[in-house]
Amino acid sequence: MLRFSVVLLGILISLQAPAQKFVPGLWKSRTTLRLNGIPMPDSRSENCISDTQAKDARATLEEELKKQGCFLTKWQVNNKNLEADVKCDNQNLLANGKLSGPFTESKYELRGEAKGKYKRALPSIAAITMTGEWVADKECDVK
């Protein structure tokens, strides 16, 4: 679950509502997770989004989510607010979740919850908070 949150965090950086694009460059991000009310270790990272990746936020997000056995079932952007539904089916997690929150070109804060089964047996509810801010212009490898 934590890996899923980190991947999602790395991709959901500074979408521009009308164009639904990323601002390319270097970002610092943080993910906090509570699994069934128990705090998990925070994840902090720096992510570099290339010009190519920045052109289509949804496609970039979906590409990264597929690596974790996850995909989008809803994507809606209104007035600088993103609402997304995600479904995951991998060896650790079978769950459906929602993420939403404000974002600007230089900063975002998304909150969400995913419900399902951990290790296909234990019912779980994960509360996720993801924040990030643009740090600097940076040339990134094209992917």
Per-residue model confidence (pLDDT) at position 13? 40
Instruction: Name the least confident of 32-41, 52-61, 70-79, 85-94.
Output: 52-61
Q: Are strands 38-39 and 43-49 parallel, antiparallel or unpaired?
A: unpaired
55: in domain:
yes
The partner residues of 81 in beta bridges, in order of sequence, read: 78, 102
Tell me the C-alpha distance between 62 and 34, whole Å.
24
Q: What is the mean pLDDT of residues 14-29?
A: 66
141: in domain:
no
142: in domain:
no
Per-residue model confidence (pLDDT) at position 19? 47
Look at the chain and count its residues. Answer: 143
Phi, psi of 64 (to 5 degrees): -70, -40
0.75 surpassed by pTM:
no
**How many structural domains comprise the chain?**
1
143: in domain:
no
Domain limits at 31?
Answer: 2-136
In which band, very low, low, confident or very high, does the pLDDT at 143 lie, cut at 50, 70 and 90?
A: low
29: in domain:
yes
